[in-house]
Amino acid sequence: MRFSFTPEQEEFRTSLRRALEARSPTKEVRRLMATDQGFERDGWQKLNQELGLTAIHIPEAYGGAGFGQADLAIVLEEMGRGLLCAPFLSTALAANAILNAATEEQKQALLPAIAAGEKTATLAFSEDDGGNDAEGVAMTATQSGAAWRLEGSKSFVLDGHTADLIVVVARRPGSQGEDGLSFFIVDGNSPGLERKRLKTMDETRKLARLTFNSVEAKILGEAGAGAAPFAKTMQQAAVLLANEMVGGAERLREDALAYTKMRMQFGRSIASFQTTKNKAADMLVDVELAKSAAYYAAAALDEGDDELPALASLAKACAAEAYLQTAIHAVQMHGGIGFTWDNDTHLWFKRAKSSEILFGDANQHRELMMQHWKH
């Protein structure tokens, strides 16, 4: 398997980083994270018109650019580096769910608007217990003629309070485990749907709780056949989040190192102190190892590797621990100012902490990895 980047991908990364640095300085991040929506529609549409990012991984047949998940991972890594406040990850995951579960006709109908940046979307799968697997899905879907009705709630939904389109995972009443699991499409303004933004530590990423009171929905794909697409979608989610996390970790590492080189104490740079050198070395090793795992897993997505379930969990577990530990070191290396609101380090620290448990923490993914290899 090839898991190095091509010259074209490296050039894409360079131009994308330049564009995102101009659009997402920390001043802009602080402004947008203080809003209820967490982003601005005009800026979102302009970003997609100029760079076409939401179309990256969507096939050309559905209005996309036709690139792979590895290219999407590059986009997310650079967004994680800049803490871009936009509903990109949520929309990308919803698009993946549609690609995995929908019929050809549904893909033709739903994906072009997402690819063009005209509609935002999200994937609603987790409920109040925070579960990320099929067994945790309790929301029920009851068929009434040609229509379906959803009852229950979904929590911790990325950008769920603003999404135009919601892809929902639910099950037939009385079914358990993977049986009776299906995907559904719900309009964000559907009658009976209550959307409430949650108060979270990480204000750069908005989460919501959605309550479905007999909400009318459209079945996505085949009824009762959602288990395999759901598993694949969650593996993709883990890999893409891992790549976003290594982008943030690398930014923290670079900023902390630049600060220690500039900060003088006892007549010399604190970068020359042995304890600072040790932290810098630990950060470099952690981040590079996490990058290797995330990049390899992204390549496995495109190549359909049989070991993908284990590689996705490995990438998520490695990136989660590396990001949080790098954030801790970065705060300490900044000294007293690192703990203040005025210093930007806390923005990445909070993103590291929230991303650590999003889609399952490191312990859960290590367990999933061992279960896969055991079988």
* SS3 per-residue string spanning 149-183: EEEEEEEEEECCCCCCEEEEEEECCCCCCCCCEEE
CATH number where 33 lies: 1.10.540.10
Q: Does any domain span residue 2?
A: no
Q: 59 exposed, middle or buried (CB, 10 Å; 0-12, 13-18, 19+)? A: middle
Domain shared by 259 and 299, yes or no: yes
What percent of the chain is modeled with pLDDT above 90? 59
Q: Does any domain span residue 315?
A: yes
Domain shared by 211 and 241, yes or no: no
Domain shared by 210 and 151, yes or no: yes
β 181-187/165-171 pair status = antiparallel
pLDDT 10s digits, 216-235: 999 998 888 888 999 999 99
Last residue within a domain, chosen from 224, 250, 280:
224
pLDDT 10s digits, 315-363: 999 999 999 999 998 888 877 777 788 888 999 999 999 999 999 888 8
Domain shared by 368 and 245, yes or no: yes
Give the mean model confidence (pLDDT) for residues 40-51: 88
Domain shared by 151 and 105, yes or no: no
pLDDT 10s digits, 284-325: 999 999 999 999 999 999 888 888 999 999 999 999 999 999
Last residue within a domain, chosen from 186, 201, 224:
224
Q: Does any domain span residue 164?
A: yes
CATH number where 174 lies: 2.40.110.10
Question: Rounded to whole angstroms, how far apart are CA atoms 227 and 233?
Answer: 10
Give the mean model confidence (pLDDT) for residues 143-169: 91
The residue range of the domain holding 358 is 228-374
**pLDDT at residue 3 is higher than 70:** no
pLDDT 10s digits, 267-277: 676 666 777 77
Structure-token match 């994270």, residue found: 33
pLDDT for res 272? 62
pLDDT band at 173; cut points 50, 70, 90: confident
Domain shared by 65 and 77, yes or no: yes
Q: Does any domain span residue 1?
A: no
pLDDT for res 92? 94
- Whether residue 306 contacts residue 269, with contact meaning beta carbons closer than 8 Å, is answered with no
Cα dihedral value 224, 226, 228, 229, nearest 10: 150
Question: Rounded to whole angstroms, how far apart are CA atoms 72 and 57?
Answer: 6
Structure-token match 């998940």, residue found: 69
Q: Does any domain span residue 12?
A: yes
Per DSSP, the three-state class of 62 is: helix
Task: Return the bridge partners of 168, or none.
Answer: 124, 184
Q: Does any domain span residue 356?
A: yes
- Whether residue 98 contacts residue 111, with contact meaning beta carbons closer than 8 Å, is answered with yes
Last residue within a domain, chosen from 169, 196, 224:
224
Instruction: Say how many CA atoms lie within 13 Å of 257 toward its Cβ.
Output: 15
Question: Rounded to whole angstroms, how far apart are CA atoms 222 and 208?
Answer: 27
Domain shared by 249 and 352, yes or no: yes
pLDDT for res 310? 92
Give the mean model confidence (pLDDT) for residues 250-264: 83
Domain shared by 53 and 107, yes or no: yes
pLDDT for res 217? 92
pLDDT for res 133? 83
Domain shared by 12 and 25, yes or no: yes
Domain shared by 234 and 337, yes or no: yes
Domain shared by 236 and 357, yes or no: yes
pTM above 0.85, yes or no: yes
Structure-token match 């959307």, residue found: 195
Q: Does any domain span residue 317?
A: yes
Look at 34-43, 128-137, 148-157 and tell me which has the smallest mean pLDDT.
Answer: 128-137
pLDDT 10s digits, 88-122: 999 999 999 999 999 999 999 999 999 998 999 99
Q: Does any domain span residue 52?
A: yes
Look at 41-45, 172-176, 247-251 and tell me which has the smallest mean pLDDT.
Answer: 172-176
CATH number where 247 lies: 1.20.140.10
Q: Report the number of distinct structural domains present in the chain.
A: 3
pLDDT 10s digits, 7-31: 888 898 999 999 999 988 999 999 9
Look over the chain and give the mean of its residue pLDDT values, rounded to a whole number: 89
Question: How big is the chain by its Cα radius of gyration, in Å?
Answer: 21
Domain shared by 46 and 154, yes or no: no
